[in-house]
Amino acid sequence: MDKEQSIQFAQKYLEDLLSFFGANLTVHSTCDEDVIELSVPSSELNSLLIGRNAETLRSLQYIVSTVLRNQEAGLTRVNIDIADYKKQRAERVAEQAHIWIAEVRRTGDSYIASLNAADRRIVHHVASEYSDIMTFSEGEGRDRKITIAQASS
């Protein structure tokens, strides 16, 4: 299946999955850098669909991506956002990253944080705006941490 068919398949598959939760919602789909972006509108089921620490949201994403791989789709990477949860979280993480960077600049001490991969990516991106700050990740799996340090260290 080509890229356009992959996007349409992922959209329809997610809509079908959501219907099992009793949510008859229209999913909006786009493609950005070979990642299928699926946006689910806000509903009374937001907390159920997102889940604690976004576990349900990540599970939905994993299921759709796995089905696409099994269908040998042209695109298999999927990003699902429910009621702009991920967008709002990214904004909060970026704000926190600016605070951490200000602290590193003020004290000269490095800052280490345990963050998931998506949040680490956001911090790396924010830090790239500062010429005197560098970031790097260390560790494996769930023990992976990001370090924010002055570039001169």
The pLDDT tens digits for 32-70 are 888 899 999 988 888 999 999 889 999 999 999 999 999
Domains 3-83 and 88-150 share a fold: no
Q: Which CATH number fits domain 3-83: 3.30.300.20, 3.40.980.10, 3.10.20.30, 3.30.420.40?
A: 3.30.300.20
* pTM for the predicted model, two decimal places: 0.75
Predicted local confidence at residue 29, as pLDDT: 92
What are the residues whose beta carbons fall under 8 Å from the beta carbon of 27, sequence distance 6 or more? 11, 14, 15, 18, 38, 39, 40
Q: By mean pLDDT, which of 22-26, 61-65, 66-70, 100-104 is the weakest?
A: 22-26
What architecture is the 88-150 domain classified under in CATH?
Answer: 2-Layer Sandwich (3.30)
